[in-house]
Structure 1
Amino acid sequence: MTNTNPALHVVATNTSSQLSQKDRLIGQPRFHFEPHDVMQLLRARIIGQDKALSEIEKMLYVVKADFSSSERPLSVTLMLGPTGVGKTETVRLISEAIYGHADAFCRVDMNTLSQEHYAAAITGAPPGYVGSKEGHSLFDETAITGSHTRPGIILFDEIEKASNEVIRGLMNILDTGRLTLTSGTKTIDFRNCMIFMTSNIGAQAAQQYLDKLNLLPKTLQQACLKRVPTQTIIEKIMFRKFDPEFINRIDRTLHYQPVQENALPQLVNIEIEKLNKRLTHQKRHIILTDAAKAYFYQEHDIRFGARHLARKIRTELEPLLAIHFLNHPEQLQIVLDEKNGQLSIKEKSSTSTSS
């Protein structure tokens, strides 16, 4: 006998529809960011670090595919290298690509945690101490937790400057993706989070090694570097500083290279592009001649990396622009040149705001 009950037919249809919808979702990644888009931004702004960025790309694809262990953070990445080579900027750009703004991550400056008693800033105050019941720590839980469609991001910056007690306090986070505060009242979940750490450890020793090699003939320099690369020196110092148990919990250790002279013109262009972006809301735009750009990178000490270039633009170019714009508010575009070792306004274009 055929069942003609319309209610049962509706239930069957709805169930079938729900099943087919679930089938369509099978195999679809829950994270909505595109690794290709993230890498486009990184490769446009982080210059001369192709090897490190290739490892970042692999990590992003694994996170996107979403089959990582549910009992660990999504990834744990340590970035080594001298100052001003783009380690912290890498994390800022990943945040910008995924969240739309560069500060959507939890940043912990480890140089502020250099004393052993600062371990309480990570794990919270122990029972019996002031603040133990509140379960406070310095973590931004919203940035760490992320959401179902976007991973959380945390950066432990300059990790070698933290005390050994603080670093030991991190080991459980790297291993299990959880941190239970010492009060026992609260657990912070890092399992939906990409963890990044930066360190300058060994960079000074590596630079001193390169300085000594520069006194040798080129062929001998290359032979020495082949036998003992700078990476080996950095890793030896890293193993002296960090316990094997800590290092063993890191998925990827990336070596950022010192900024090379051929990268300096690109880095100046990037800084000028950032400045023009900040001037957009005033409908202003600046152009630098090749001589003006060269002013910022000629005789530049590559040991100080891109950060020194940015500082020189802030302290020498921006005051010149500020005075000019305040004295000539009608001018929207100016061209800067360099003459006799000085920056100067070459030409002014006093178009109206409608142009």
Structure 2
Amino acid sequence: MQFWRALRHRLIPISHRITVAVPSKVSTVQRKFCENKLNVIRQIKPTNGKVILGSIVVASLPLVPFKNIFESFLISTAFLDAPNYNEQLFNVVLKGDLSALRRLKGKVDVNARHSLGWTALHVASVNGDSKMISLLIEMGADIDAEDLFSNVNLVAKEKQMNSIQVLLSREDEFSHRLNNRCSFRGFTALHYAVLSGDTESVLVLLKNGANPLKCDESGHKAIDYTAENQKEMKNALIKYTKKYAEQEKIKEVEERRKFPLEKRLKQVIVGQEGAIAIVAATIRRKENGWFDEDHPLVFLFLGSSGIGKTELAKQVAKYLHKNNKKGFVRLDMSEYQQKHEVAKLIGAPPGYIGYDKGGQLTKALKEFPNAVVLFDEVEKAHPDVLTVLLQLFDEGRLTDGHGKTVECKDAIFIMTSNLASDEIAEYGVQLRQEAQEIAKKRYAGKVVDDQYIEEITVSKHFKENVVRPILKQSLKRDEFLGRINEIVYFLPFSESELKLLVLKELNAWAKRSTEKHNIQLTWDKRVIDVLINGYNVYYGARSIKHEVERRVINQLAAAHEFGHIHQNSKIHLTVEQDSNNSDNLMIKMIVKGKNDKKGVLMDLAFKSPLNKS
């Protein structure tokens, strides 16, 4: 006892280094006594710091006078450092010490996570401490933060820890009442409050704006975890779910007014104003309840390859379902060209291989009934697959291989096709030329805007007499076409849109060159004019991408390999006439080193190593 009093007395005045001794050759009872005393010493908090245990050493000068008390020592060295308030936060919340939590206000990150993934609000909620929940929310806790802890075995594997260690930490520092074989990833404070069975905690969270519609990783809302005898809690959740849904709907309407879908789509997609306008108008109709609830929305996107059909479908899904990956289902119909591959779509019938797995489409729609489903290159599908799609579009439901019906009337189905793409491309070029002529007249004051809009719209004659016969011949049936709400035409890019595509591609490569090679890339405006000449109306934006790679990036890579450009180089792309052919414009680069004031003009057209001349 005298040893510990002396040791504790010696600890207090030391400001930078603290040395603590624990005897090694003592009985179990004595060791336990020493460990308890050591824990007391660990809790000594000088004014500007905290004792943190460090590495084990063999001896230490300040303890020489005490060596005659024990035969040998295990010496632990500790250093004074800034206090770990976040660590204290979890202990305080677990103990339910409100006054201690108030003292931590302003010193602690209330949204800090435990090393295993949960927050302090999760701790308070799972233990049903409504007062602690209120105080944490008042201090700025994120009420809808998700727990990153899945289950003991997975976390142990992720963190490279012993599973017993993880289990003990979860039980001692979170809650011992949970089934730790289950996954809790994605649980919010509201989920945990429901599991705690404390209605008051649930009400506190709901009144402070907790989202009752939020799902965990398994797709379950908080209300799904209520027990049958928890009627008061369940009724409160139902009431606030309706209230929250109404508030969210009002917010979404306001957000849509301020930032319409057309503007959102235009941020990502170059050109295609007509296609965007049709899709946005149809989606708006659905969002505001002006649609047939018995049938899903069905689109058919027509146009050349690389013109934005797939990207528009992705952006619609992102708009409707935010970043939920299950909200967008893409099926490549080239994988369904054979009769037997219908089973891949809806599931194999009883007695056949794959019966237990289910179909790709039915499985996806069971998980997310209002998903955006993309059928890519639908003309490649077998006629029997189209028969299944006909039922899907007509009734808004599918019967899987198990005989179970999957309801999906709220889904949006988008088919893309290259049918009539050549005709649409040629017609689009003609439209662009006519539009340019009308635009010149319009700017001269000889034509009004209404006439201009009418002229650049795809004509009914073209749709009925050119496109429809091609669709009918390939898809074989009128009733299939009759189920489509909107056939959307994607036209070739205009010159201004091509410039945007080139600029977008060059900016992407400039960013990559800076990040990967620390090389700054800039260019003249004339470079853009030269690169748009590589546009092919039948291959869309991909032809621009390939032209940039051929005429610029391939040559930059060669210059890099031969040592003409290095890290910290500045490269400026410019255009000059070919000395042998005045009609031929060549892209060249001016290379500046780190300390160079003047650049060196260099031809990008490097000769192939195979060319010996």
Provide the TM-score with structure 1 as the length reference: 0.73
Which residue matches 1:78?
300
CA distance in 2, matches of 1:41, 1:87: 16
Which residue matches 2:417?
199
Which residue matches 2:468?
235
CA distance in 2, matches of 1:145, 1:347: 53
Once the two structures are superposed, residues 20-57 of structure 1 have per-residue CA deviations (whole angstroms, 9 ceiling, x without a partner) of 99568548529959553542242244334222211111
Provide the TM-score with structure 2 as the length reference: 0.45
Contact 2:429–2:492, Cα closer than 8 Å, also in 1:
no
Contact 1:92–1:103, Cα closer than 8 Å, also in 2:
no
SS in 1 for 2:301: strand
CA distance in 1, matches of 2:366, 2:509: 27
Structure 1 letter corresponding to 2:487: T
Question: C-alpha displacement at 1:322, in angstroms?
Answer: 4.3
Which residue matches 1:164?
383
Contact 1:144–1:192, Cα closer than 8 Å, also in 2:
no
CA distance in 1, matches of 2:381, 2:326: 22
Contact 2:534–2:544, Cα closer than 8 Å, also in 1:
no
SS in 2 for 1:85: coil
Which residue matches 1:63?
286
SS in 1 for 2:344: helix
1:144-223 equivalences in 2 (<5 Å): 145=368, 152-184=371-403, 187-206=405-424
Structure 1 letter corresponding to 2:279: I
Contact 1:92–1:102, Cα closer than 8 Å, also in 2:
no
2:352 pairs with one of 95, 114, 129: 129
Q: Does 1:303 align with 2:522?
A: no
CA distance in 2, matches of 1:118, 1:258: 34
The verdict on how the C-alpha distance between 1:41 and 1:125 changes in structure 2, with shifts beyond 3 A counting, is: same
**Structure 2: which 5+ runs fail to align?**
1-231, 432-436, 438-454, 579-584, 596-613
1:112 pairs with one of 321, 335, 338: 335
SS in 1 for 2:540: helix
The RMSD of aligned alpha carbons is 4.2
CA distance in 1, matches of 2:245, 2:326: 31
SS in 2 for 1:126: coil
The verdict on how the C-alpha distance between 1:204 and 1:191 changes in structure 2, with shifts beyond 3 A counting, is: same
Higher relative contact order (CA 8 A, sep 6+): 1
1:141 pairs with one of 341, 358, 364: 364
Question: C-alpha displacement at 1:96, in angstroms?
Answer: 4.5
SS in 1 for 2:539: helix
Q: Percent identity between the aligned chains?
A: 24
SS in 2 for 1:271: helix
Q: Does 1:29 align with 2:273?
A: no
CA distance in 1, matches of 2:430, 2:270: 26
CA distance in 2, matches of 1:235, 1:152: 28
Residues paired across the two proteins, number: 326
Contact 2:326–2:364, Cα closer than 8 Å, also in 1:
no
The verdict on how the C-alpha distance between 1:17 and 1:171 changes in structure 2, with shifts beyond 3 A counting, is: closer
Choose 1 or 2 for highest CA Rg. Answer: 2
CA distance in 2, matches of 1:197, 1:253: 9
SS in 2 for 1:319: helix
Contact 2:365–2:408, Cα closer than 8 Å, also in 1:
no
Contact 2:527–2:587, Cα closer than 8 Å, also in 1:
yes
Q: Which moved more, 1:120-129 or 1:281-290?
A: 281-290
SS in 1 for 2:356: coil
2:275 pairs with one of 48, 52, 68: 52
The verdict on how the C-alpha distance between 1:125 and 1:24 changes in structure 2, with shifts beyond 3 A counting, is: closer
The verdict on how the C-alpha distance between 1:204 and 1:22 changes in structure 2, with shifts beyond 3 A counting, is: closer
CA distance in 2, matches of 1:121, 1:264: 40
The verdict on how the C-alpha distance between 1:138 and 1:281 changes in structure 2, with shifts beyond 3 A counting, is: farther
The verdict on how the C-alpha distance between 1:21 and 1:299 changes in structure 2, with shifts beyond 3 A counting, is: closer
The verdict on how the C-alpha distance between 1:335 and 1:101 changes in structure 2, with shifts beyond 3 A counting, is: farther
Structure 1 letter corresponding to 2:412: M
Runs of 4+ in structure 1 deviating by more than 6 angstroms, as ranges, are: 14-21, 101-104, 208-213
The verdict on how the C-alpha distance between 1:205 and 1:152 changes in structure 2, with shifts beyond 3 A counting, is: same
